[in-house]
Each structure stands twice: as structure tokens, then as C-alpha cells.
Amino acid sequence: MKETKFSSITGKTSLVGVIGDPISHSLSPVIQNAALHKMNLDWCYLAIPCKPDNLESIIKCLSKINCKGLNITIPHKTNALKFCNHVSEIATKVGAINTLIPDNDDGWIGTNTDVEGFLKPLGLEKNWESRNAVILGNGGSARAVLLGLEKLKLAEIAIIGRKETSITNLINSLTSPNGNIKGLTQDSLQLNEYIKNADLIINTTPIGMLQTNNTSCIDSEIPFGEKIWDNLKPKTTLYDLIYNPRPTKWLEIGKEKGCIPIDGLEMLIQQGAASLRLWSGIEEIPIDIMRKSAKDHLLN
């Protein structure tokens, strides 16, 4: 099979892609096409803009043209569940899908690789058992992170958000709520203590993310303001799901205090590799190539 290059796309080239809105900023075409080239797969990965009202028709149409697989991103990860013939157990638990796999009935199997992608950068060699974690935010990303953290057998997980009801709803939505999961609002008097005792802190909010015009997507560039992070202890792992900018101001603050920074680029790469593995049936995915292509693109 010929290498997949834009100059050699033919009538035999198969389609894979990502559906979202907006989608022009997505790094997924960069990393996936780099991998497809290395794997000698005659596929082309495209970013497919899709308004919510068009989601069903686009998903159904793509199932009819031998599309090899799709990623689903904001704002469609929950609504796309309705258009799957089958949904995996992990996607059901997360309540969202990010990957569609063709089935034999001109339809889709929905699954979610976000949990796997989140866990990989934490490293299997490090023992997280009996340590403390803090999750910033209580949206859809926080749910996938929470399911991932449950696998690490942590001593305690604290979820910090703006509204108590939203935090409580997130905790109660778990199939088996664990007593070691606590919810706090961002104005809680206990907040400083939880930050001080944390071994791992994950930012699932969009605070600090750049828009396509290189401005911060919201007024504040640091989750919950700068003052609270005076309580960080050295060696705490700070994991920001944001990958643009690299690093975020929050990770810069942590690094100055001797913390261990992880940004969201590796999660994006790992969840993308997991999706490609499911579509292709090939176990060995060129993750180093995906990583290099992403970093080169961000530098430019």
C-alpha cells in the first residue's frame, strides 16, 4: 500500500476524521496523518466542521461511504451517543464518546479513549496508591478524569468547582460512588488545605486556554486565581488538560515552586493513538511520530 501523502490521494484513499464545532484549530489531523503516513495506510484524516443540528445526518452519511473511523469532540461528545448502534461500557460510564468505529450494519460503535489517554502520561511505574488528588472543574472532562483516578486507588479525591449542586451531581452519577471522593466549592475555607496536601492536581477547566486569535479564552489565565497556589508543595504533579499554550501560566507557577508539570498534549496523543489502534486493528502505533509532529506544528 502506498504511503499516504496529500499529493498521492487517489480514488482508493479512505477517510477518517474528527467532527466538532469549531474544529479548524484541532491538532488531530496533524498527529493522525503523520501516523498514517508512517504506517503506510492509504487513509486521510480530516477535520469535519459540524453544527449540532447537522450531527445526525453527517454521522449517518459517513457510515455509508466506508469511512474507517471518526473522532468526536466538543460540543458533540454526549449527543453522538444517540446515533450509535452499540456503545462500549467505558463510554456509558463516561456518558460521552470520542471515538466511532464502523460496525457491520452501516452504523457505528461508540467508545471513549479519554480515560486511557488521561492515564498514560501519569506513568504506570509510579505508585499512586494511597495518595491524594484534586480535580479542578466538574464538567465532562472531569468525569473522564474521575473515572481514570478511580483506577489508581488513591486515598482521597477532591473535586473543586463553582456550584455545589453540579459537583454533587457529578459524584452521584458514578455507578458506585466512593466515600473517598469529596466535593468543594472554590470559596471553601478548606481549599488551601486540600491544595497543600495534594500529590496530584488536574485542571479540567478551560482556564488558560488560547483561542485561535492567541488570546486567553476567558479573563483569568490561572484556575481559581493566583493566590491559592501559594500553598503548593514541591514534587506535586500538576496535570493541565490544556495543550495550547505550552506551558500554561498555571504550570509555569507550579514549575517555579518545584512541582512536576504535565500538559494536555500527551493526553491528546495517547487518546488519538488508542482510537487509531481501534480503527486499524494494528497494535503498534508510531506515537513518537505523532508527538514530534504535534510539537513541530505548535512551534510553527
Spell out the domain ranges in the chain: 14-111+268-299, 116-262
**Residue 137 is assigned to a ligand binding site:** yes
Lowest mean pLDDT among 110-119, 193-202, 206-215, 220-229: 206-215
How confident is the model over 11-38, as pLDDT tens digits?
Answer: 999 999 999 999 998 999 999 999 999 9
**Residue 89 is assigned to a ligand binding site:** yes
Q: Per-residue pLDDT for 219 more than 70? A: no
Residues annotated as catalytic (active site), given as ranges: 77
CATH of 116-262 among 3.40.50.720, 1.10.10.10, 3.50.7.10, 3.40.50.2300 = 3.40.50.720
What is the distance between the alpha carbons of residues 295 and 300, in angstroms, rounded to a whole number? 9
**Residue 179 is assigned to a ligand binding site:** no
How confident is the model over 91-112, as pLDDT tens digits?
Answer: 999 999 999 999 988 899 999 9
Q: Which CATH class is domain 14-111+268-299?
A: alpha beta
What is the distance between the alpha carbons of residues 240 and 122, in angstroms, rounded to a whole number? 12
Identical fold for domains 14-111+268-299 and 116-262, yes or no, is yes
